[in-house]
Amino acid sequence: MSIINDALKKVQQSLQPSSSNLSDSGQPPTPATGPQQPKMKDTPSGTAQAEPQQTHPVSKNKKWRDSALLLICFVICALLFFLILFLFRQKSLFPMPAPAPVQKTAAPTPPAPNKPPRNPNDIVVTGVMKMGSGNMALINNEIYEVGEIVNGARIVTIEMDRVEVMKDGQIQVLRVSGK
């Protein structure tokens, strides 16, 4: 083991500056920059071990202090945010005038149609549509096909613009309303 110890000492001496640079204490000056080499220490068993580098307790305390200050700042900011939010809900910086009361008026009545009242026996064709192979008519708001009876009149034909019905032996042509 002493061979390893001697080899490590030689390597350590070769990495250190020359003896002319020794300070008053006999130790070489530590470089201001660059990585520092770990110091080697002889153990009772004759092996060389690197001494653990000491960390300064001040730096650990500084980290805790910085973390605590950051946490306190965060808590204060959160409290201010919620305080301001609460105050603005209570009062507004720019108060708005109260809305004017709404006056209720009666709804306007639609004008009466100029058409005379319809006779229940009248047949009014509102529309015609093509369904499958035949046509269907919308008469008096109900759907009819050829051959059905409306107000006593049988539907003879349904065309796209008219419906022909037979009533009392006479054929009447009814035009689609609105055309």
Query: From edge to edge, which strands make up the β-sheet containing 134-139?
Result: 125-131, 134-139, 142-144
d(CA 146, CA 136): 8
Pair 124, 144: CB distance under 8 Å: no
CA 33, CA 31: separation in Å to the nearest integer?
Answer: 5
User: Is the confidence at residue 55, as pLDDT, over 60?
Assistant: no
For residues 40 and 16, what is the distance between their CA atoms, to the nearest angstrom?
13
Between 13 and 173, where is the model more confident?
A: 173
For residues 18 and 96, the model is more confident at: 96
Highest-confidence range of 8-12, 26-30, 95-99, by mean pLDDT? 8-12
Span 74-123, pLDDT tens digits = 999 999 888 887 777 666 555 667 777 777 777 777 766 655 555 656 78
pLDDT at 151: 87
In which residue are the tokens 């005379």 written?
116
Q: Which residue from 158, 162, 132, 159 is spatially nearest to 144, judged by alpha carbons?
A: 158
What pLDDT, in 10s, does the model give residues 135-171? 999 988 899 999 999 988 999 999 989 999 998 899 9
Q: Are 158 and 134 in contact (CB under 8 A)?
A: yes
Asked if residues 172 and 164 have their Cβ atoms less than 8 Å apart, the reply is: yes
Residue-level pLDDT at 46 = 59
Considering only the C-alpha atoms of the chain, give the largest distance between any 2 of them, rounded to a whole number of Å.
143
pTM above 0.85, yes or no: no
pLDDT, position 121: 65
pLDDT above 90 (res 176): no
- Look up residue 8 and give its two tokens: 């490590």
Hey, where are the domains in the chain? 1-17+38-53, 125-175
Give the mean pLDDT of 31-40: 54
